[in-house]
Amino acid sequence: MKPALSLSTSWLSQRHEDGHAMLQEAAEMGFEMVELSHGIRYSLWPGVLSAIKEKIIRVSSLHNFCPVPIGSLNASPNCYEFTDPRSSQRRKAEALTKETIEHAAELGAGAVVLHLGSTPQYSSHQKLQQAFKDGKLGSRAYVSEKLAAVRKHERLFDERWPALEEILKNLGEHAAQHKIKLGLECREAIHEVPLENQWERIFKNLGPETGYWHDFGHAERKDAMGFLDHLPYFESMSHRLVGCHLHDFVLPNKDHQALGKGIIPFQNFWEKLKTQPLFILELSPRVPAEEVKACLTWWKNHGPN
């Protein structure tokens, strides 16, 4: 039996004022489940609870932080980071994540998706992204910037790892108590944690309630920019796979596109699956509704069995 395709509310939450109407729309489009994204404002929350109580739709997962923390007006998955050098900010991130885990349990979800943090190298990301768009992949300047950024990232990660590991252990214990899986998401930029060679260290001392969350668009972007080989990388992580964010990628840098509209050979990846993960369709709000609905047909024809 083909697994269900869940719709991330990232596609529609921005244009709704009522959470009930938001989830009603997703159900009317043909989706049986949703992921409550990091864009769920508190004003949407009462309607969300009402729709779930009425069994209009089921919740597959929540994306941290959910709902949006008070004081943040927009989707804010990185407004607090586990890698922040300030202890007060790290503890705030931990406390809000525990609340998200509790909400996931209350709503009958199976997992919470987490971003781990970043290192202060956004300027390197911008330089590499622009050089890639300008067709300079592999140039001396590109390689030099990339190597310097990787070295700096690894040094800063080493400094911040002890605090990050402590938080992940605490969150894992909290998730286990609530029977929730944590999915640590792969990221798309050089300043974001982790780099691909850091996963083994991250998982070494974590329990089975903490696993890997694969974002297809992020990984394909990194493949295009020469940071990884997408399919072998996916295979190497598939034994830890909790779930996936599904969206296609169009060169040079356009992700969160409808399935089948880009360059990702999804069927090659289904052969590498070693778990039964959650599958979440995470699309840009700019994708037309007819293309979103078409993803359900695409899934029926091309998704894993």
Look up residue 74 and give its two tokens.
């927009």
304 domain-assigned: no
List, for residues 119-153, the tens digit of each pLDDT value.
Answer: 988 899 999 999 999 999 989 999 999 999 999 99
Q: Which pLDDT score, from 0 to 100, does residue 253 have?
A: 87
The domain tally of the chain equals 1
CA distance 120 to 106: 36
pLDDT at 1: 79
Query: Among residues 180, 194, 189, which one has the least CA distance to residue 237?
Result: 194
Give the CA radius of gyration of the chain. Answer: 19
- Cα–Cα distance, 145 to 128 (Å, whole number): 7
Amino acid 158: pLDDT: 96
- Inter-residue contact 25 to 44 (CB < 8 Å): no
Question: If 0-12 CB within 10 Å is exposed, 13-18 middle and 19+ buried, where does residue 82 land?
Answer: buried
User: Which pair of tokens denotes residue 225?
Assistant: 């920019």
Q: Residue 235: what are its φ and ψ, rounded to 5°?
A: -60, -40
The answer to whether residue 101 sits within a structural domain is yes
Position 230 scores a pLDDT of 98
CATH number, domain at 144?
3.20.20.150
* Domain hosting residue 143, numbered range: 56-256+273-286
| Structure confidence at residue 98 (pLDDT) | 98
Look at residue 75 in the predicted model and tell me its pLDDT. Answer: 64
For every one of its 305 residues, what pLDDT tens digit does the chain have, with 9 covering 90 and above? 789 999 999 999 999 999 999 999 999 999 999 999 999 999 999 999 999 999 999 999 999 999 999 877 666 788 999 999 999 999 999 999 999 999 999 999 999 999 999 998 889 999 999 999 999 998 999 999 999 999 999 999 999 999 999 999 999 999 999 999 999 999 999 999 999 999 999 999 999 999 999 999 999 999 999 999 999 999 999 999 999 999 999 998 899 999 999 999 999 999 999 999 999 999 999 999 999 999 999 999 999 98
For residue 149, give both structure tokens.
């950024």
CA–CA gap between residue 240 and residue 263 (Å, rounded): 25
Assigned domain for 25 exists: no
72 close to 40: Cβ distance less than 8 angstroms: no
Rounded Cα distance, 9 and 35, in Å: 6
Identify the pLDDT of residue 176. 98
Rounded to the nearest angstrom, the gap between the alpha carbon of residue 125 and the centroid of all alpha carbons in its chain is: 19
Where helices occur in 34-185 by DSSP H, the ranges are 45-53, 87-106, 122-133, 140-177
Closest CA to 240 of 194, 192, 189, 276: 276
- Average pLDDT, whole number, for the chain? 96
